[in-house]
Amino acid sequence: MTAKTRIVVSSDHADIALRQMIASHIAERGWEVVDIGPTTAESTDYPKHGEAAARRVASGDCALGVILCGTGQGIMMAANKVDGIRCGVCSDTFSARMIRQHNDANILSIGARVVGAGLAIDIVDAFLDAEFEGGRHATRVDMIKALETSR
Ligand code: RB5
């Protein structure tokens, strides 16, 4: 299977069961899921898990990523520090669709203490079903990318 259909999944300790549920769901959709853990509920630091997922995507090893922490916010902030990553936290399906269509987001972040499992799966589906629209949105995404070289 090529990187185009490979997706990385990661989280901190707040959300292991939901991450595994999401990973199974994505696999059932036909993606090769790279679940980089963690596997125990022992307290762990979300920045390293956000970075690890982000590097998989930034390197091209995985096309997309889904990451989780309690709020989805901290792990999103860490992932977005890696050049090439555009990650948004979504608690609704509209936002999950739009970050793909307009922002060409390559990682979706979910707050496991914010949304229930059913909504989380719908959010993942909305993200995976959407495609970047390009055009005027590509110009804006290029402006985001340009910020990486200015820091
Ligand atoms: C861990 O308790 C919690 O701080 C983390 O999962 C996340 O919500 C941070 O943004």
Pairing of strands 32-35, 64-69: unpaired
pLDDT at 120: 98
The pLDDT value given to residue 44? 96
Report the CATH superfamily, name and number, of domain 3-149.
Sugar-phosphate isomerase, RpiB/LacA/LacB (3.40.1400.10)
Whether this prediction's pTM lies above 0.85 is answered by: yes
What are the residue boundaries of the structural domains of the chain, listed by start? 3-149
Q: What is the pLDDT of residue 42?
A: 95
Reduced to 3 states, what is the DSSP secondary structure of residue 149?
helix
The per-residue pLDDT for 86 is 98
> pLDDT below 50 — which residues of the chain?
1
pLDDT at position 150:
73
| Partners of residue 108 on adjacent β-strands | 66, 88
Ramachandran region, residue 95 (left: φ > 0; alpha: ψ -120 to 50; beta: rest): alpha
The pLDDT of residue 149 is 82
Eight-class DSSP state of 11: E
Q: Is residue 62 annotated as part of the catalytic site, yes or no?
A: no
Measured in Å, residue 66 CA sits from the centre of ligand 1 at 16
Q: Whose CA is nearest to atom 10 of ligand 1?
A: 74
The per-residue pLDDT for range 4-29, each reduced to its tens digit, is: 799 999 999 999 999 999 999 999 99
User: How does DSSP assign 88-128, residue by residue?
Assistant: EE-SSHHHHHHHHHTT--SEEEEETTTS-HHHHHHHHHHHH
- Among 44, 49, 71, name the best residue to mutate to test ligand 1's pocket (greatest count of ligand atoms within 8 A of Cβ): 71
Of 69, 87, 90, 137, catalytic? 69
Query: Does residue 89 line the site of ligand 1, with CB under 6 A?
Result: no
